[in-house]
Chains A and B, each alone.
Chain A
Amino acid sequence: MMTGLRILLGAAILGGLGAAAPFTPLWLISLVTLAMSTGLVVCGLIILWRGGLVPFGQALFFATGAYTVALSGRWFGVTDAFLLIALAVIMAALVAFVVGFLLAQYREIFFAMLSLALSMILYGVLVKSETLGSTDGVNVAQASFFGMKPRGPGYTFALFWLALGMVFLAWVGVSAYLGSIAGQLAGAIRDNEIRVEYLGISVTRLVHLKLTISAALAGAGGALAALSISHVDPQMAYWTTSGGFVFVTILAGAASVPAAFLGALLFEIVRTIAVALLPGGWQLILGSVLLLTILFVPEGLGSLMIRKRATISEKGAA
């Protein structure tokens, strides 16, 4: 459960990061912003993951969010970053709500494959739309913040602070949800659905809700990514993008929400170092990291944090 103290601590850490931004190299700031966008998606994946559901098509909602930002700006002239992100979240949640009537009926590999198929439909449609630049994609106009239009490094900072705010909201919100009855039932759904039904709860509706929440987070992640890259393309809906999110979730583990963001950050840092070290074989490094994680930290990085906390409280008790 979230206590006031932990919320304060989280706010202090994020606030500290925000205050440190002007003293950090700019490339690192944009890298962290992008990692936070992945973190938001992974945060949503954790909700499903705990219920034993692994979607291989989360890119559907990610791309929906990203394209909502790009097209709202292009067609309707919306430039306010907060409004754009809100629109993206609503669109992604709406799509999830609609496809959820179908998806929520399925479990395990069928759930994974069906979600993958749906995201590939979006990919196919985007590739065929020549007005949207097909595979080349379209640029996203630079956003404004409550009428202010920071440019150059100011824009990078503004997006970073926006990302921190989103991370804070997602962290508090998802932690609260995971602590609620609906959230706590995730493990029960994974273990025995029939018993959950006997408690008088509709598992299908619960899964539908989880899917919608996770899609809203993926939409937020997509919106942030679109703003920070300033470009969207159909690759965002491709299955390798979904695979990347699953990769980070394995790295982070489903045990802890902050781990989603740390995992995403670690992944992005490992990738960028690997590219710098081995331009012709960086995928090897990335793959080895995943393998080693699965071998030595099968529950993900989050489990390390929780183990650490457990040892501390044990010592405290003794």
Chain B
Amino acid sequence: MQRTSVRACLARKVSAALLLTALPVAAVAQTAPTAEPVKLGIVSFLTGPAAGPFGIPGRNSAEIMIEMLNAGKVPAPYATPGLAGAKIVPKYVDEAGSTANQVTEFRNLVQRDGVNATVGYVSSGNCLAVAPVAEELKALTVFFDCGTPRIFEEKPLKYVFRATPHATMDSVGAARYVLKKFPDLASYSGINQNYAWGQDSWRDFVAAMKALAPKATVDKELLPKLFAGEFGAEISALLTTNSKIVHSSFWNGDLESFIVQNGARGLPARSTMVYTAGETAMFRLGGKIPDGTIIGARGPHGVMAPDTPLNKWFRGVYEDRFATAPTYPAYHMAQSILGLKSAWDKAAAAKGGQQPAIDDVVKAFEGIEFEGPSAKIRMAIGNGHQGIADIAYGSFRFNKAEGKAEIVDVVRYPAECVNPPANMTSTAWLEAGMPGAKCN
């Protein structure tokens, strides 16, 4: 009995506190027409091995973007509060667990919690599994980090969008940068995790290399299992080759242990390492990464992002809140939410400022162009549902004087240079030798 009253008292205090903090927000929002809040499902890895490098930065980025959008504090052109004046109420869901769990939780979000839209998913498997359900439920869904090109290439989708470019761009960008650094490359090797992301990354990289440098041959093609953590045998195999470069799409623990282990065996002295997702580990490892290592960030994100007001603002608020620089998953989340806002605001504008229906937002989203913190995103392929953007690659340098990890020699490739055109699948485009790529 006593406990109940304490709890009730606490609840009252908490709600009073919430009310007080909500007052200034409400005052800002008053300028816009008062609208029903928009419920937004945010799905990202909160537990498990993918939480640290991808899930948590994505979730944190969503938290800060939603808060700032609600307060109308995001710089132009996003300075209007919320989604067309409606406050965003997020609901966070963990992406860990089987695809069956993810499909169930997605249904719960849409049918039980009644979210108006969902932004989420890091794992390509989850994206592929959720896409047909989103179509079935007619639920607007924006994938933020998964990379597989298959999403819109297997069948056209109406309610699913992905502002973040797909993974083909990472491999094509890497191939172009490698050949700029080593124009007469004779042979190369690759070490990638034996699961979809690793296999796809390597396949696309080899295809891009075949198109750009047909004479270069593959020495060693290594596919150790995911989260192997120990790469002694693979490093020995790589040490026997004359490869000038070694391609790797490793991430998280595998990436870090591979860097430490191959450094100890002197592999980087023989071959330049190319880490297409290296940016997530760069700050933690610092001086352990040899200078000259080629680093990618799945887009021109993080330290490779341009110095625009939007990017400066984003880095500022993110670092203030979480005491660490935003890595690419944070950028992916931010640009996905901004894409949703752009579409929402455009749909509302077409209705004279009224809250749009989901089908209006879907229509407005198709083919939209908007500014992300790091690049302009154009929903140009996949029937206007898949975004393309520039990509950047650079070389690692450890600034000993300041003890800081840096990227130098950054080259930024335009979107059309590294993405397939609207009428071709990425595999067909790569196999045809990347026709129509515009690189200047």
Chain A contacts to B: CB under 8 angstroms: 25-28, 30-31, 34, 127-128, 130, 133-139, 151-152, 155, 225, 229-231, 233, 235-236, 240-241, 268, 271-272, 275-276, 279-283
Contacts and interface: CB of A to CB of B under 8 A. Distances in A.
A216 B286 CA distance: 54
B104 interface: yes
A63 to B, nearest CB: 11
26 contacts: A26-B111, A27-B107, A27-B111, A34-B100, A127-B195, A133-B128, A134-B199, A135-B125, A135-B226, A136-B150, A137-B125, A137-B128, A139-B131, A139-B154, A229-B99, A229-B103, A231-B99, A231-B103, A233-B125, A233-B129, A235-B125, A272-B108, A279-B46, A280-B94, A281-B47, A282-B47
B168 to A, nearest CB: 15
B211 interface: no
Nearest to A31: B104
B108 A133 contact: no
Contact of A26 (B97, B107, B128): B107
Given A152-B136, A229-B129, A136 B148 contact: yes
A269 to B, nearest CB: 11
B105 interface: yes
A236 B100 CA distance: 9
B8 interface: no
B101 A271 contact: yes
Contacts, number: 105
Contacts of A26: 107, 111
The 6 closest A-B pairs by CB, nearest first: A231-B129, A27-B111, A135-B195, A134-B196, A136-B196, A27-B112
Given A135-B197, A231-B125, A275-B101, 5 more contacts: A136-B124, A136-B128, A235-B98, A275-B105, A283-B96
A272 B108 CA distance: 9
Contact of A272 (B92, B104, B195, B199): B104
A230 B274 CA distance: 37
A30 B94 contact: no
Nearest to A151: B136
Chain A CB within 10 A, most for which of B100, B105, B226: B100
Contacts of A134: 195-196, 199
Contacts of B154: 139
Interface of B: 46-47, 92-94, 96-101, 103-105, 107-108, 110-112, 124-125, 128-129, 131-133, 136, 148, 150, 154, 194-197, 199, 203, 225-226
B162 to A, nearest CB: 15
A142 to B, nearest CB: 8
B98 A27 contact: no
A230 B197 CA distance: 21
B93 A275 contact: yes
Given A27-B112, A136-B128, A230-B103, A279 B195 contact: no
Contacts of B194: 127-128
A283 B47 contact: yes
Contacts of B226: 135
Nearest to B108: A27
Nearest to B154: A139
Contacts of B104: 27, 30-31, 34, 268, 272
A250 to B, nearest CB: 19
Contacts of B99: 137, 229, 231, 233, 235
Nearest to A66: B100
A25 B111 contact: yes
A84 B199 CA distance: 30
A34 B196 CA distance: 26
A280 B196 CA distance: 26
A272 B105 contact: yes
A230 B133 contact: yes
B94 A282 contact: yes
B125 A30 contact: no
A30 B112 CA distance: 12
A81 B440 CA distance: 53
B367 to A, nearest CB: 25
B141 to A, nearest CB: 15
Given A30-B104, A282-B94, A25 B129 contact: no
